[in-house]
Structure 1
Amino acid sequence: MDFLRENWMLVLLAVTSGAMLLRPSLAGAGGGKVSANEAVRLINREKGVLIDVCEPAEFAAGHPVGAKNVPFGSLDGAKALPSNKSTPVIVTCASGARAGRAAALLRKQGYEKAVALAGGNRGWADASLPVEKTA
């Protein structure tokens, strides 16, 4: 007890630094963003579904192979979303901005494993993963 009293600043510093180290992993537990490689792991191992929330013209210009297009404005009750709400849903868009908002919206709708793809479709392409264009 004397040690704690005499070294309270060191103890406070240790607790603060530990909290700062744990913060990113705790934040990731509730959703957030995943890398393209983590997205591929979710798709392959956990049967994750890749949803692109771009507008149809953006989607046609280029999107990850296998992605389903559900524009951001029509997410509520979309039929392309999995019926099992515990299925991982990886949300993407052109840059990742809309995807983050869409993933948060899906988590509010009960999709407990909804996450955004970090960097969006650009991040996917930068990871040298396949992209397709539709007519």
Structure 2
Amino acid sequence: MDRLTSFAQDNLFLVLIFAGLTVALVVTEVRRLFRGFKGVSPVQLTELINRENALVLDLRGQAEFEKGHILGSKHLLPSQVDPESRLLAKSREAPVVLVCNMGVTAGGVAEKLVKAGFKRVAVLEGGINAWTGAGLPLAKGRA
């Protein structure tokens, strides 16, 4: 214990960095538990599409979408996602999965849908990059 105390005193900067990173990690994980939506892997998304006819919304730009998208997905820009739209209104109880490039942009849209009362919102973890990384196919062109 004396060696640990001595190390902490001699390396205060390292100890503070370690403490800060630990707090950041804990806060991130707690927020993930209470965010109201979940992350799904490419395999889980495939199961949701096949078993529950999940609505998949691709939030990337039009050009990226046309280069390659998940078969059956619908294209919407994040600013176009309206919980009251005809496309989304019928999916309040059904699975809705949001897809972007790396899974980051979709989180904000997922929060918006959860606040609007959607019950089964998910984000493809790792985005379309994870999908292609898993060796899963993409459709080309417009939906």
**Partner Cα separation in structure 1 for residue 48 and residue 133 of structure 2:** 18
Corresponding residue to 2:47 among 34, 41, 50: 41
Give the TM-score normalised by the residue count of structure 2: 0.69
Count of aligned residue pairs for this structure pair: 113
**Partner Cα separation in structure 1 for residue 127 and residue 72 of structure 2:** 15
2:126 is matched with 119
2:98 is matched with 91
Task: Write the letter of the residue equivalent to 1:103.
Answer: A
The Cα RMSD (Å) is 2.3
- Residue 129 of structure 1, CA deviation: 1.3
Task: Write the letter of the residue equivalent to 1:113.
Answer: R
Matches for 1:99-110 after TM superposition, within 5 Å: 99-110=106-117
**Partner Cα separation in structure 2 for residue 119 and residue 44 of structure 1:** 20
Corresponding residue to 2:135 among 111, 128, 132: 128
**Partner Cα separation in structure 2 for residue 84 and residue 121 of structure 1:** 22
**Partner Cα separation in structure 2 for residue 103 and residue 46 of structure 1:** 19
Corresponding residue to 1:67 among 65, 68, 73: 73
Q: Secondary structure at the match of 1:64?
A: coil
Corresponding residue to 1:52 among 52, 58, 71: 58
- Residue 32 of structure 1, CA deviation: 2.5
Q: Which runs of 5+ in 2 are unaligned?
A: 1-25
1:10 is matched with none
**Partner Cα separation in structure 2 for residue 124 and residue 28 of structure 1:** 25
Give the TM-score normalised by the residue count of structure 1: 0.73
- Residue 29 of structure 1, CA deviation: 8.8
Q: Deviations over 1:48-106 (max 9, x none)?
A: 11110112122112211111101111001443325130100010011111111111111
Q: Secondary structure at the match of 2:48?
A: helix
- Would you say the 8 A contact 1:54–1:93 is kept in 2? yes
